[in-house]
Homo-oligomer: A and B are copies of this chain.
Amino acid sequence: MINIAILGYGTVGSGVVEVIKTNQSSIDKRAGKHINIKHVLDLRKFPGDPVEEILTDNVEDILNDDEVKIIVEVMGGVEPAYTYVKRALLSGKSVVTSNKELVAKHGAELLQIAKEKNINFLFEASVGGGIPIIRPLNQSLTADEIYEITGILNGTTNYILSKMADEGRSFEDVLKEAQDKGYAERDPRADVEGYDACRKIAILSSLAFGMQVDYEDIYTEGITKITKKDMEYAEKLGCSIKLLATSKKIDHRIFARVSPVMIDKEHPLATVNGVFNAIFIKGNVIGDVMFYGKGAGKLPTASAVVADIVDAVKHLNRNIVSFWSTEKMSLMDLKDVTTQYFVKIHYENFEKARKEVENLFGPIDIIQLDKKDQEFAFITPEESEGTLQEKIFTLKEKDDITEVGSLIRIER
């Protein structure tokens, strides 16, 4: 038998208890030992709940209990999670967490402590919810040099974009519905501004490239400015609009970005809809692989946490090696990365506006939904973001251009 303790009895914590109870016998068989939940930490009371008897509001009961070998941290947020997890590791307890803020911020250090102590710090659930991605990155893609990771890493924004595309509704309208249904938070910024996806791609990049990628360094743009009309243009171009978190190796340098992208419908990520997440990886020998599943939710996330618990039991005093050094990776300046933009132009005189655009960008294909709108769109040639932004700035100054809008990156 092995004793574990769970820090936090919220959605994921109660999911972990439920998953262990539901599949106890097969989980014990896989782990090779009976897994016993000895303590659950939460400041709240849960009268009548099965965990009532093992509930404590004092973390010392857990950290000082020598019988507890594995701690499951599912509180979220950097503090006090960081303090508890670090103390647990230093005292020789393995830690499993679903906490992306903690992992993005302190993953390298906590992995290092686990290595020194010959125990484990595991965080499969911190990215992609139930989707196996951390373990495949560490253990399955070991023959490859990875040069691209691109993911749909946030279910809320993918749900909103899917609904906007399918039902021709506005961002605000779908967001409100998602909030009413409980799919989106009352304060939706962490999702819709891309902050959540940013932390997750920081974790994946750090693991894939072996150095610390600070999430603060990653250019992050949300989906709040995407309009119904953008969706119509995307459809016309044979594209879907997705919030993509991406990280690429270009000539031994790394760049990372979170932003909406118009992506060709033939791309495997384009058909990932609703609350599903997917992570697309390119390796120099394996080619393209993709991992797809529920990126959030009580039971899928708990499934990943429990799979980590099983691994921690199987490797009680044996560190599972991963390569993520504390050395900081300096990312490429976004300005130096080439891309193509989808750009919308409002005009009073079509021919004059077109001429201004072509003076800057060369010959363009005009994409137009309805002439009455006095608006057309075009796709820029592939140039560095710096050059493109300068040209767009120049365009905005022109008298014959009433307005320049959208600026969505496009990959076809």
Contacts and interface: CB of A to CB of B under 8 A. Distances in A.
Interface in A180-201: none
B292 A143 contact: no
B142 A307 contact: yes
Q: What copy number does this chain have within its complex?
A: 2
Interface string A282-297: 0111111111111001
A145 interface: yes
A124 interface: yes
A287 to B, nearest CB: 5
Interface string A301-312: 011111101110
A294 B287 contact: yes
A27 interface: yes
A26 B210 CA distance: 11
A13 interface: no
Contact of A131 (B144, B289, B293): B289
Interface centre among A22, A136, A140, A283 (most CB of B within 10 A): A140
A19 B271 contact: no
Interface string A254-296: 0000000000001010011100100000011111111111100
A29 B30 CA distance: 29
A292 B292 contact: yes
Instruction: Give the interface residue-count category, chain A.
Output: 35 or more
A23 interface: yes
B293 A287 contact: yes
A253 interface: no
Contact of A289 (B145, B271, B284, B291): B291
A143 B135 CA distance: 14
B29 A145 contact: no
A229 B309 CA distance: 51
Contacts of A23: 143-145, 284-285
25 contacts: A19-B285, A23-B144, A23-B285, A130-B287, A132-B136, A132-B140, A135-B135, A139-B139, A140-B307, A142-B311, A143-B303, A143-B304, A143-B309, A266-B273, A268-B276, A268-B292, A285-B299, A285-B300, A286-B293, A286-B294, A286-B300, A287-B297, A288-B293, A288-B294, A314-B321
Shortest 9 CB-CB contacts between residues of A and residues of B: A143-B306, A132-B140, A289-B293, A290-B292, A286-B303, A30-B142, A130-B286, A142-B310, A285-B303
